[in-house]
Amino acid sequence: MMTRRALLKTGALAVFSTTLGGLPTFIPRAALAATNNKSPKNKVLVAIFQRGAMDGLMAVQPQNDANLTKLRSGLIIPSTSAGKEGLLNLDDRFGLHPGASALHKLYQSKELCVVHGIGSPDNTRSHFDAQDYMETGTPGRKGTGSGWLNRAIGALGHEPTPFQSVSLTTALPRSMYGECPSLAVGNLDEFKVQAGSAGNQSLESLYRDLGDDKKSKKDQSQVGQLLKKRGSDAFDATKIVSTSEFRNYRPANGADYPKTNLGRSLRQIAQLIKSGVGLEIAFTEQGGWDTHVGQGTIQGNFSRQLKELSDSIAAFWTDLGDGYQDQVMLMTMTEFGRTVHQNGSNGTDHGRGSCMFVLGHGLKGGQVFGKVPELALENLEDKRDLPVTTDFRSLFCDVANHHLGVPSGKMSQLFPGWNGNQLGVFARA
């Protein structure tokens, strides 16, 4: 296993000492944190967006609700009976889809909790609008320029580093739009300057030395300074991910990531965490949740999706191991849920409430939060959907406050115009 210190010694530091004669500006703080036990380590929040709207009622199904059986007879996961696969018991009321057996273990060890009936107060059933609202953190307001994760970084007010806010997606997600520099890279293996060895060096010195030459006064300009800073970051950051330690990374503790984009993204997030490069917010996503057709039950589309998610998260958690889990919290989110009744193609259509998973230490783990009424027609939103009983912001701000350490006073910055209560998923809160 590559420890943070090992990388700093043999990897990144070695590169810097031989080629640059200096440390990148963001390393000392991280290195200091690694050597000084008193200084608290960075907290890291990992967000996974399940695009397409996950059917929360299939992921975490109310047990023994006759209404549900009536409305979606073809989409019911049976209870576990002798020798037969079925719902994994969460509590008296709910069972977890067996595809998520890896998450079930984390639930049993009280590291994972579920929030059910969660969603947006805005009742749009458009993917675009609902994702927009969830990512900006301002339901009903389209004009919000920035994303809530970016504002969270801003509210923390830490010195920026190139890896402080990273999205493992090609394009920057809406959640990370905003003032604070965020890095979007689909795959860190491809994060390289490809100008050739001498070319890279030429460019590196060009960017690094901008404004240092007294003759070129102009590069004292803001643009010059920005290019100098981000250029230096770019060369530092690409060097870190091209060290042999980074490239030949072997997940710790026998962690086995699914060989999918999501699996790779989470593995690379784990690598960044362990490298001590100042990661605070990581984002990635999983598409394919828009199950209008042939959703399946124990097997099938939905099950495959959920298994990939669950196995990826569990591998990530195993990989982090005792050394890093305390620092990290992982949260899933999805734009809305799906209709309680099944449609004509053995699938479900766009609905309202869904569920989210939260993983980390210090949580009231092993619990299902939120209110899910008995699924009688009159209890449903518009007589069709699981009603939203928990505003997603009450979970997001809970996590931002208690995990990341964004002060309560800055919550209005994160979620302007909202003053609801935090959900209370933390044990020490």
Between 38 and 142, CB nearer to other proteins: 142
Between 169 and 325, CB nearer to other proteins: 169
Rounded Cα distance between 113 and 358, Å, is: 5
Burial class (CB in 10 A: 0-12, 13-18, 19+), 123: middle
What minimum distance in Å lies between the beta carbon of 242 and other proteins? Answer: 8
Biggest CA pair distance of the chain: 82
Residues 226-245 that bind other proteins (CB under 8 A): 226-228, 230-231, 233-234, 236-238, 242
Residues 266-305 that bind other proteins (CB under 8 A): 292-294, 301
What minimum distance in Å lies between the beta carbon of 347 and other proteins? Answer: 8
Decide: is 176 part of the binding site for other proteins (CB under 8 A): no
Between 91 and 212, CB nearer to other proteins: 212
What minimum distance in Å lies between the beta carbon of 245 and other proteins? Answer: 16
77-104: b (≥16 Cβ within 10 Å) or e: beeeeeeeebbbbbeeebbbbbbbbbbb
The alpha carbons of the chain give a radius of gyration, in whole angstroms, of: 23
Could you tell me which of 409, 388, 389, 385 has the C-alpha nearest to residue 397? Answer: 409
Rounded Cα distance between 140 and 257, Å, is: 37
What minimum distance in Å lies between the beta carbon of 1 and other proteins? Answer: 26
Q: Which three-class secondary structure state does DSSP give residue 47?
A: strand
| Mask for 140-159, x = binds other proteins (CB under 8 A) | -xxxxx--------------
What minimum distance in Å lies between the beta carbon of 247 and other proteins? Answer: 11
Measured CA to CA in angstroms, residue 203 lies from 162, 232, 299, 333 at distances of 18, 10, 53, 40
DSSP 63: T
What minimum distance in Å lies between the beta carbon of 4 and other proteins? Answer: 20
Report the relative pairing of strands 165-167 and 60-62 from DSSP bridges.
unpaired
Rounded Cα distance between 231 and 246, Å, is: 21
3 C-beta neighbours (distance < 10 Å), count: 16
Q: Which of 42, 61, 150, 182 binds other proteins (CB under 8 A)?
A: 182
Q: Which of 33, 172, 298, 376 binds other proteins (CB under 8 A)?
A: 172
Rounded Cα distance between 205 and 387, Å, is: 58
Residues 188-227 that bind other proteins (CB under 8 A): 189-199, 201-203, 205-207, 209-210, 213, 215-216, 218-219, 221-224, 226-227
Between 73 and 221, CB nearer to other proteins: 221
Place of tokens 């920026």: 160
Q: Which of 187, 220, 244, 408 binds other proteins (CB under 8 A)?
A: 187
Tokens for 406, please give them.
């964004």
Residues 366-395 that bind other proteins (CB under 8 A): 382-384
Between 237 and 386, CB nearer to other proteins: 237
| Mask for 330-369, x = binds other proteins (CB under 8 A) | --------------xxxx----------------------
Tokens for 204, please give them.
């590196």
Residues 78-137 that bind other proteins (CB under 8 A): 126-128, 132, 136
Between 119 and 347, CB nearer to other proteins: 347
Between 179 and 256, CB nearer to other proteins: 179
Runs of H (alpha helix) within 143-196: 148-156
Between 348 and 401, CB nearer to other proteins: 348
Measured CA to CA in angstroms, residue 328 lies from 13, 45, 120, 181, 314 at distances of 25, 6, 25, 21, 13
